[in-house]
Structure 1
Amino acid sequence: MMKWILAKYKQYQEVISYLFWGVVTTVVNIGIFIILKHITGWNYQIDNAIAWFVSVVVAFISNKAFVFKSQSVSLSQTAREFVSFTGGRVATLLIESLILWVGISLLHGNDVIVKIIDNVVVVIINYFWSKWAVFNSKTK
């Protein structure tokens, strides 16, 4: 039984690692969003943009080092990965902003619940972008 569990872990290690670090990044994102919401009085989209920026940095570092284990050989390669990673995240920021706008402004939903829902959608999209476009060893 233990052999089977270890084999399954090894088979799905990347997905498990991504989910773990995705939860960490999501907690950072939602935590900063909630903190800013309570202390700034700014529009939720501004709070979201700041939370997004911090979580993108956390996600890049964790995805590069622990999920996809990218072994950049140069600063320029790391910079290309970061630009591609951030480009994908900007696209999902637009999706996230749209979900927040519809959920909060149009449907008058609870901002934290809508934020959690948008994070689920974004984490899924970001996984595929990171796996196939950013940290794909075939594209290097």
Structure 2
Amino acid sequence: MIRTIRTTLQKTIEFLKSPRGETLRYVIIGGCTTLVDYFSYQMMIAFLHMSVTASNAVSTALAILFAYITNKLVVFFSRTVGLAGLALELARFLASRLFTMVLEFAGVYLLVNILGQDYRLGKAETIVLVVIVNYVLSKLFVFRKDQPQ
């Protein structure tokens, strides 16, 4: 029984480390990023008595920083050379996240205000789109394997 559990755990870890496990790593890190955003937002309001707007701004910034570091190191195994390479990669990451933030705002506005969908459904549908676009942009634009860093 223990041998079976150990073997299954080893195979799971091997899969997660392999290129085939990239999408699953992305989903796991995305969930962790959401938790960083949500819990830091709640903590700043509850314990630091910050305003909702300030808490949201700081928690979003923390989540984006967490997402960059973990996507770079855990999801895409990106290696950059020098400070200039790191700055360029970070700039591409921030630009892609800014683009998808605009996409999210526009998507929710279109689905809820123009098409009349329920606000929860419109937000959920838009989040799915944003997650997919973030993954594609990260893979093809930010953490490209063939691009000199």
* TM-score for both structures, normalised by structure 2: 0.68
Which has the larger Rg? 2
Task: Please list the CA deviations of residues 7-40 of structure 1 after superposition, one character each: whole Å capped at 9, or x if unmatched.
Answer: 8823522111111101111333455667889984
Partner of 2:11: 6
Letter in 2 for 1:74: G
User: Cα offset for 1:122?
Assistant: 1.2
Map 1:11-22 to 2 at 5 A: 12-22=20-30
Give the match's secondary structure for 2:100: helix
User: Cα offset for 1:133?
Assistant: 0.8
* TM-score for both structures, normalised by structure 1: 0.72
RMSD between aligned alpha carbons?
A: 3.6
Q: Which segments of 5 or more consecutive residues in structure 1 lack a partner in the other structure? A: none
CA distance in 2, matches of 1:115, 1:51: 19
User: Cα offset for 1:49?
Assistant: 5.7
Q: Pick one of 81, 84, 94 that aligns with 2:89.
A: 81
Identity of aligned residues (%): 25
Partner of 1:60: 68
Report 1 or 2 for greater relative contact order, CA contacts < 8 Å, sequence distance ≥ 6. 1
CA distance in 1, matches of 2:42, 2:126: 14
CA distance in 1, matches of 2:41, 2:126: 13
Give the match's secondary structure for 2:81: coil
Question: Is 1:109 matched with 2:119?
Answer: yes
